[in-house]
Amino acid sequence: MDIDGLFLCPICKNIPVNERETFLDELMFKTRLYKKGEWIASQGDIVNALYILLKGSVKAEMISESGTVLNIETINAPNPLAPAFLFAENNRFPVDVVALEDCELITISKSSVMKQLASNEAFLQGYMAFNSDRAHFLSERLKLLSTKTIKGKLAQYILARTNNMHFTMDMTQTELAEYFGVTRPSLSRSLLEMIDDGVISLKRKNGEILNLGKLKKLITQ
């Protein structure tokens, strides 16, 4: 088990090298392995420790009985899982967490986390920044989902990936449809209409914005 990987995690990476041994000595933690496909946590599970993924990748999703899956995000090692929920009034996982490949996980008890937050400034700063970025991510996701039309979502997605009127699609249409929470044929139709309307052009994964004004208008409907 490669504990040193812990210091590659965003929360811990700014802890000075000379403090790391002391940090580890004082830490109350356990490690565990998960096989690909295994469920690490279920929606509703109580969070009573800080979970940090040392190796592998997991998928956070909300799944419905009818089979509709909303893929919230994929988390790769080394990263913490839901660190914000450790301190919440209602401290339960908001999503299901499933191992996408074989994983190594470290769990640190809440009291141990509290102690380190108070005594180690780099850890505190790292923890706060991570939670902040997480809230930011959720807020962006909210913005995307609250954009009602598929073309609006596409416009936001494209603009967030544009440099100098050029953008690259970093997901397949199938993945994108799941990310947006819409069906794949509907996404395909909307995308092609945007190309037909001369708003963008697209060759494989590489696109150009042809009419920025029209594209921006799509966001606000």
Partner DNA sequence: AAAAAAATGTAACATTTGTTACACAAGCCA
Partner DNA sequence: TGGCTTGTGTAACAAATGTTACATTTTTTT
Question: If we measure between CA atoms, which residue out of 118, 1, 92 comes closest to residue 55?
Answer: 1
Cβ proximity to DNA, 83 vs 207, nearer residue: 207
Binding track over 93-132 against a copy of itself, x by CB under 8 A: -xx------------------x--xx--x--xx--xx-xx
Give exposure, 163-198, as e/b (b: 16+ Cβ within 10 Å): eeeebebeeeeeebbbbbebeeeebeebbeebeeee
Least separation in angstroms between residue 221's CB and DNA is 7
Q: 18 vs 221, which CB is nearer to a copy of itself?
A: 221
Q: What is the DSSP code (8-state) at residue 171? A: S
How far is it, in rounded angstroms, from Cα 179 to Cα 91? 26
Q: Judged by CB under 8 A, which of 13, 143, 189, 205 binds a copy of itself?
A: 143
In whole angstroms, the minimum distance from the beta carbon of 207 to DNA comes to 12
What's the closest the beta carbon of residue 179 comes to DNA, in angstroms?
12
CA distances from 125 to 23, 54, 118, 119, 183 (A): 15, 20, 11, 11, 41
**Residue 163 binds to a copy of itself (criterion: CB under 8 A):** no
Residue from 89, 163, 164, 196 in contact with a copy of itself (CB under 8 A): 89
Q: Reduced to 3 states, what is the DSSP secondary structure of residue 88? A: coil
Residue 142 found at the interface with a copy of itself (CB under 8 A): yes
Build a one-symbol-per-residue string for 145-184: x at contacts with DNA by CB under 7 A, - elsewhere: ---xxxx--------------------xxxx-----xxxx
The CB-side HSE value for 83 (13 A sphere, CA atoms) comes to: 26
From candidates 91, 109, 125, 188, binder to DNA by CB under 7 A: 188
Q: C-beta of 199: minimal distance to a copy of itself in Å?
A: 17
Which one, of 154, 137, 160, lies nearest residue 194 by Cα? 154
Run of H or E residues at 52: strand 49-55
> Which chain residues interact with DNA by CB under 7 A?
148-151, 172-175, 181-192, 204, 221
